[in-house]
Amino acid sequence: MDPDQFHILGQASGPGIPLHSERSGTAPRISSILIKPASAICNLDCGYCFYLDRDLDPYTDLPQRRMSDETLDRLVDSYLFYSYPNSTFAFQGGEPTLAGLPFFEKLVRLQETKGRNGQSVSNALQTNGVLLDDNWGQLFHQYNFLIGLSLDGPEGINDKYRYNKEGHGTHKWVIRGMEALQRNKVDFNILCVVSQANVDKPRELYNYYKSLGVDNIQYIPLAEFGGPSKGLPFSITAEQYGRFLVETFDLWWPERRKMRIRFFDNMAEAIAGQKPGSCTMHETCDSYAVVEYNGDVFPCDFFVESGWKLGNIMLDSWPEIARRNRRYRFAEKKTLAHPECQVCEYQSICHGGCPKFRHGPNGKFEDLDYFCQSYKMIFARAVGPLQDELTKLMGKQVTMPGRHSISPY
């Protein structure tokens, strides 16, 4: 396949799941895959990382995890065939660059040779940026990778929780990596974890990213729990995050044609009746799948647990994986409507929020999203202006879709 067709719009570990655990009929397609070529292994030791030392990590006794050439070959070949004509590969960790530059050079060669005429292939990668240099930048530029670069703010903010194995802050290395992306004209956005280090500083963050020449930001709220409804010290409250979003919206609105903020983009998509780019605002949790270093497949990055394993690409085809009963059962979790959701005027935007933040505080998928209050605060502030703006852009009246309780499951 011609490299110019690439464009950007995040060993088996046991027996295969028996066929009787599949459903018949047409299954919702897996529209993208999140690949973890180095699993949860990372070269940093961030204080808030939910992947470090997880009790439910199915690979906790395997310190060295790298995707083999055989698994990569099978992954590319099978997913290109399944996903034709639009194929989206996203890489995450841990830290995916630990797989090495030759791994990604082989990836794009396989995509070129195994892709079919007319096939569009998108590659994205989320990284802490520490290993990035011009060699990485040249590859990303040549094949139009979209890069998500983790940076939580200026040095004093970023380095509070983001440090390496020796406890040293990472800010200077991230900036060095960002400059390599900029020199090589790589399309990238900033991924900012909103924690107790920065939740009260939205203006400082916004202005700092602007000063770096950044024009695309994704804010990720942090809430991890150490017991029933007990947030860990770095976790933010729903009210804090709501205030953060509202103040950020007010900063962004006058500059909305120059700066992109993913949460507001997703809101606009939902209001316009389109499927948002973030799975948090989807009706069900079935749009993507996670592929671990050994080919194991899971329905969500937050639930890489043995109990949610869907299969393995070395043993199972993608249509078989898509029909797994476990996939349907996981997708259904988002449709467990809380009584407040059933009467909420914003239900058609968030669809109950993220199962991670519903399950996290008390281990119950039927609970309200921990950040429900945050969403109501920002929706109350932003829905009106976004509706008016969309009406102007689309040349017709745009109103928020009404509530509904219909589930594809």
Active site residues: 301
CA distance 210 to 213: 5
CA distance 104 to 140: 9
CA distance 65 to 52: 14
- Which residues, in sequence order, are CB contacts of 25 under 8 Å at separation 6+? none
Strand partners, 90: 34, 124
Q: What angle do CA 96, 309, 327 make, to 5 degrees?
A: 110
Radius of gyration of the chain (CA): 21
Q: What is the DSSP letter of 365?
A: T
Contact at 8 Å (CB) between 408 and 28?
yes
Burial of 270 (0-12, 13-18, 19+ CB in 10 A): buried
Contact at 8 Å (CB) between 81 and 168?
no
